[in-house]
Amino acid sequence: MEFIIILLIVIFVVLYRKSNGESVYKFVSTSIGDIYDKYAPYSFKNIRERCKEMGLEYTPRQYTVQVIVFASLAFIISYLYFYNIVISFLYVVAVVSIIPYLAYLRCKRLYSEFIFEQVQVYVTNTIMEFQTTQSFVKALEGVYNSGVLEEPLKTDIKVMIDLAYHNGDVMESITYMNSKYDFYMTRNMHQLFLQVTREGAHDTIQVLDNMLLDVDQLVEGVYQDRMNRQAFHKSFITYGLMLYLMVMLIQWLIGKETYISLVNSNIIMQIGLHIVILFNSYFLLSGEKYYNENVGAE
């Protein structure tokens, strides 16, 4: 215990001496940010920057609260298993080190939801523009100039327009867009416009109106699924945390003193408890990954 306290004091003193007068909190958050920006994948840097622009990125204060909550939970749970401060400290370090990965998953989910909303705007407005212009390229130009789209879709629409004029055909433009935004509603709309552009059609109004209804139903389903997944996610996290506390039931059945004696004298039991914690942690982390990566929009 004394060793850990001395270590924490030394770390605090070193950080304070290096901070050159700025607050230790600001120095630590800035240093972590510099390391993160240096080693984070380039694509994720763009996603994270976009989340900041949308005001969806956690503030340093929110990250600090998250660290405190995670560290506290890790310490309490691990201490209830082993009643050993050193082991609890190691678990605290391990849990806090996972927070950047959780932030990565969260940003990817928020960015995916943003992209889906932008694709919905693109499809809906392109259909409405086409009903007026009866030209796919002119419809794209109308959507691009309307200002309803944000980056990166706005730039991609411009690429589609340039490809169409360069090739004299919309096929490459459609292939480009489908490869970047592989959604059912984009593929469906592009297929219809490709057919109309190449083969012509006497009356597309009813078909386009039906497609708009399909898009509305799809979007309604996606948002309903999103609310259901959020509710399930909260229940999943609660259930996962309760699994950690099963050790309290064991202590209640055999007695706390007997439990501590068994843990301290039986290396097999210690290994088993570590496996239980790691397995449950993997269960929670896998569920968190699934929740953030499967947004239900495809």
Residue 88 lies in a domain: no
Domain of residue 149 covers 115-219
Asked whether residue 193 is domain-assigned, the answer is: yes
Is position 47 within any domain?
A: no
Question: Residue 295 pLDDT more than 70?
Answer: no
Q: Please tell me whether residues 203 and 119 are part of one structural domain.
A: yes
The answer as to whether 73 is a domain residue is: no
- The answer to whether residues 120 and 210 belong to one domain is yes
Query: Which of 219, 241, 262 is the endpoint of a domain?
Result: 219
pLDDT value, residue 219: 81
Look at residues 90, 36, 39, 81 and name the one whose alpha carbon lies nearest to residue 63: 36
Candidate from 73-77, 175-179, 288-292, 293-297 with smallest mean pLDDT: 293-297
- The crossing angle, in degrees rounded to 10, of helices 267-293 and 85-133 is 10
- 35 and 124 in a single domain? The answer is no
- The residue type at 246: M
**Is residue 209 included in any domain, yes or no?**
yes
Domain termination residue (choose one: 219, 240, 266): 219
pLDDT at 38: 52
Is residue 61 scored above 90 in pLDDT?
Answer: no
pLDDT of residue 172: 92
Whether 204 is in a domain gets the answer yes
Residue 125: strand, helix, or coil: helix
pTM, entire model: 0.75
Out of 107-116, 147-156, 205-214, 237-246, which region has the weakest mean confidence (pLDDT)? 205-214
Count: domains in the chain: 2
In a domain, 86, yes or no: no
Element (H, E) at 38: helix 24-39
Q: What is the pLDDT of residue 134?
A: 83
Q: What is the C-alpha separation between 211 and 126, in angstroms, rounded?
A: 11
* Helix, strand, coil shares, percent, the chain, to 5: 85, 0, 15
Residue 255 belongs to some domain of the structure: no
Boundary-marking domain end, from 190, 219, 248: 219
pLDDT, average across residues 214-228: 84
